[in-house]
Structure 1
Amino acid sequence: MLSTSPPLLPVEVIEHALTFLQDNLPALARCSLVCRGFLHTCRSLVWRDVDLNFGSFKLRDRLAKLSEVLVLHPDLGYLVRCFTISCARRSELSVEGAIRLCRLFPSLRSLRLFGVDYDSLPMLFRLIRSVPTLEALYLFNIRDHGIDSSVPLLLPCLPSLPYITLPLESGLGRHNASPQTSLKVLSIVGRRRTRHGVFQDITSLLKSSGLETSHLRSLNLRVSSRLESIPGVQVPSSCASHLTHFGIAVRDLITNSTIDRLGREHMRRVFADLPKCGRLRSLCLQYDRPVHCVNRRYPQAGMHGSAAASEQPSASLFFLLELSELLSPLGAPPFPNLESLVLAFLTPPGWLSSCTEALERLAQACLGRSEDDLGERRYPRFTRLEVQMLVPEMVVLRGQKQQAWEARARFAVAGEHVLPMFASFTRAGVQVEISWVGRLYQAEQD
């Protein structure tokens, strides 16, 4: 007699199927209630990524709840691989407090911090060495302004757990300055608005803090500035030959007709040093024109071309031409393993309208003589180009959702006009993606 019961699947197959739901927390929660055998796998996927950045106004309540859960179930701390939290002023959490929180997770691999101020970076780089398992550090929204001394900084009261025994400064004294962590990924993204409290060279700060950089494989230093007197960061020589991904911000114009001398010199130095990164598979270059993002002379520039032609700003041809020269040397190509190129234009999309010929020259530099034959290309592995465009930050009054939808629609239409500028890449089979940088702010209506 044939059995009508369904065949039992091996546990390995079920666990593998559940991994496809790792980004769907509600589905994982339901699966953990369906079968007790699913509980262990679902719990490990749910606790893999802990994000306390959302709703940082209630950070104290979130930290208290997290402490309660870890006291009841201390084994959950071992499941956390990625931790995200905000150190912005509104969260009242200090950098030291954030690093103390990392001690709750003995198997932590990735840390994402939002809103760190420049003055706190030396302490951060020094204390981060007390997290020996950390492999990736992401710093977003780096700020010039330090936290007001009148604001009480939050140092969380950690639960009494057996694996939190040593203080943060343990093993980091003057006579024992050897790094205890081997970062493979370091990303620093921010914007400089003032001259106060801004260091000149991030790489020098990393070296002085004792943080080991020779193990880095991915380094992203996209720190922009609105001030022409502040030079940019440089290509670090200590880890350049080992990097497979590198990102950096450059600029060369103050206004439409005024050249930023320091910015252009910095751009030349960056392009001259980039060949040191001979193992790159991915390169990200951010071209800054943030001064126009707050300039009311161009309220509609880049949307439908409504600005007068004489007032229409444009991206610098110098940046694209120098990049083309870098990628098309007389000898061997500087990045023989290049697979992906990201061009982040912090400008509205219409500002690229005057760069058609320069973009065509860039395509020739990347593709070589032939657009069809991969064997004759200068970079045979190059298959992806991402173009990031700026979404001008605007305030949308609460209750006026129609205005926000209209703005997003304009950005979508603008993106359709940008893609044809890179037709040479698409004809050669390169995947071209247009993405957006920026956001729409919502404010209370008066």
Structure 2
Amino acid sequence: MKPSTSSYFAKLLLMNVCSAFLLGMNYGIAPSSFELASKAQPTEAQPSDAEQIAPVIEHALDQVNRAKNIQSLFGWFDNNSTKNCEDCVKQISNMRYAQCSSSDKNGYMEKELENMSTSNSLLGRLIRKNIRPDSIIKPICMQMSMELGRSALPRSSYKTCSKSNGYGSGVGAACVSENHFKLINNSFDLVSTCMKDFIASGESDEMKKLDVRAVYALVNVESGFHMNAVSGTGAGGIGQFTSAAIKDVNLNELPEVRNSLESNSNPVCGRMSMELLDSMSPMRDASSKSCDRISLKNGNPVKNMLYSFAYLRGVKKDLDRAIFKSKDFSKKFKLSEYDLAKIKRAMMVWSHNTGSAGTLTPTKALLRTLYRNKPVTDADTFINQLQQYMQKYPASANAGRARRKETSQYFPKITTLLNKIETNAGGGSCVN
């Protein structure tokens, strides 16, 4: 039986979602589709005025013995649900999941999920853990994303792992069973809880939640929260990671991610780092090891989600350095903190599709022409103008007609899809 929630939103969203998903999946993390928040593939665009990616350096992470008190740590996390959200509780109690077994054509994940659920690992705990009514992103929104994602992509877009650790054959989208949904929902809630301070350091709680909402919206379009989704270019997993993006995170962000998680006041965050980033190997970028991006055995979907947040943080740093904290452009923005953050968030999401350089090139052109002699005073106007400048002044890697069209429409399509999901989730926002 399909979830009852799908009946009131599928007809309205399916046509929009299909086009948005297909757009995002064609290009992977560098070229994807959405307006909210994710770092684009750093090597996709290389205009002369943009900083180039440093040579890749393999990281030899220290091996850390696994902590033995994971049960008590999860007790802390489970007891952290104190917010009163009667509507959330009602929505969760009304959820219905697909009934599937490993013998079903789309039930190929069930046996592995069931086996994992009996383990004492982090992923096993996440599968067994009850859904939190006050999770950062409402579970009803997560369920909508997964259900819509199942029908939005061709069967060949969902892969298994080959014996050599590369991608295997296409198998179609896995059914959204209770185990499957709980793993995805609880994983994103945990990673968001642990990484929101890292990605939005120094910002208000409201801004941090909006950044999480942005990541949710971006992933929703890229993979529909299906951990084994793979694009035609080889980008894989929840965040549609390519080799270049993995290299970037391993080189520039991973040590800071580990430090942030292991110093977090929530002990589960440290547990996650020690088990998935220290005891396990980092995600490998080689195409022959592409299964690292989708495999449960390699800590996914949690590891892929951690990399997604880390990549976003890298984009933020790129944008700050080149625009928002630069002597040439920083004084041009005469906006409130909220509106300035809106522009930054839009540019981060755009960069997931274009690469950091691919967003910086049209942004600098916009500031040097229309805003040459005047300040930026309206965030929405600036974002709309940036959409036009993606067409007029693209980075060299995005100069083709098809790429100009895709990059300019990327952020608006993601925003439109998110707004429709939120409307059909009961109005308001997908953020609790």
Using structure 1 for the length normalisation, give the TM-score.
0.24
Rg comparison, structure with higher value: 1
Answer 1 or 2: which has greater helix percent.
2
Alignment TM-score, normalising by the size of structure 2: 0.25
